[in-house]
């Protein structure tokens, strides 16, 4: 793997996240929102998004892994579940990137069983050309081409999560 190229710089990225936060604030006025971040990739996005939502939000996290790797239709394994009840709450799942859509399809189905009032999805990045599952995604930061992305939470073998911008590896 070669060097890292900048795809979306910090200023542009954080400006977009601020816009997303404003939209969420508007859409959920007067509601109790729970942001559920999917570990580990979503942490930087979750933090930036939450800081820019001026109304009160609750934060929770889940950690999942896919059972059978990327290309299977296999379900997910929950390594860490959310801590608090979401019954009757308005939930937004916060994800770093949606690729095939399998992970979030499973997570959304799983969280629905906990009887929230609503569930929507906010993702920093989306690769629409890679989608194999039909998944409604309400908030998308940037739709991007099929490149391998690192930075701002995203890793390659646990490296590069701390880069303050979105990069890609050639």
Backbone angles phi, psi at 17, to 5 degrees: -65, -35
The residue within the footprint of ligand IMP, chosen from 44, 92, 149, 166 (CB under 6 A), is 149
C-beta of 55: minimal distance to ligand IMP in Å? 27
Q: Please, which residue, 44 or 149, has the CB nearer to ligand IMP?
A: 149
Contact range with Mg ion by CB under 5 A, out of 19-27, 33-41, 71-79, 135-143:
33-41
Sign of the torsion formed by the C-alpha atoms of 134, 138, 143 and 147: negative
Angle at 103 between CA 130 and CA 5, to 5 degrees: 50
Annotated catalytic residues are: 99
- What does residue 18 show for φ and ψ, rounded to 5 degrees? -60, -40
Distance from C-alpha of 113 to C-alpha of 16, rounded to nearest angstrom? 32
Distance CA(107)–CA(149), nearest Å, equals 22
Q: Any contact of residue 151 with ligand IMP (CB under 6 A)?
A: no
- Tell me the window of 28-36, 37-45, 73-81, 113-121 that interacts with Mg ion (CB under 5 A): 37-45
Query: Token digits for 78?
Result: 């929950």
Q: Which of 7, 8, 35, 41 binds Mg ion (CB under 5 A)?
A: 41
Note the residues at the interface with Mg ion (CB under 5 A): 41
Note the residues at the interface with ligand IMP (CB under 6 A): 41, 95-103, 148-149, 154
């Amino acid at each position: 793997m070669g060097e890292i190229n900048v795809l979306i710089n910090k200023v542009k990225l954080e400006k977009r996240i601020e816009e997303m936060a404003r939209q969420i604030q508007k859409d959920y006025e007067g509601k109790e929102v729970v942001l559920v971040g999917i570990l580990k990739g979503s942490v930087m996005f979750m933090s930036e998004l939450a800081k820019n939502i001026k109304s009160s939000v609750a934060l929770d996290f889940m950690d999942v892994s896919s059972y059978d790797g990327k290309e299977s239709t296999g379900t997910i394994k929950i390594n860490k579940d959310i801590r608090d009840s979401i019954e009757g709450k308005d939930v937004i799942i916060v994800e770093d990137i949606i690729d095939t859509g399998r992970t979030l399809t499973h997570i959304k189905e799983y969280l629905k069983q906990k009887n929230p009032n609503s569930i929507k999805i906010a993702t920093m990045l989306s690769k629409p050309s890679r989608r194999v599952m039909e998944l409604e995604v309400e908030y998308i930061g940037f739709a991007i081409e099929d490149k391998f992305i690192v930075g701002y939470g995203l890793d390659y073998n646990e490296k590069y999560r701390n880069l303050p911008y979105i990069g890609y590896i050639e």
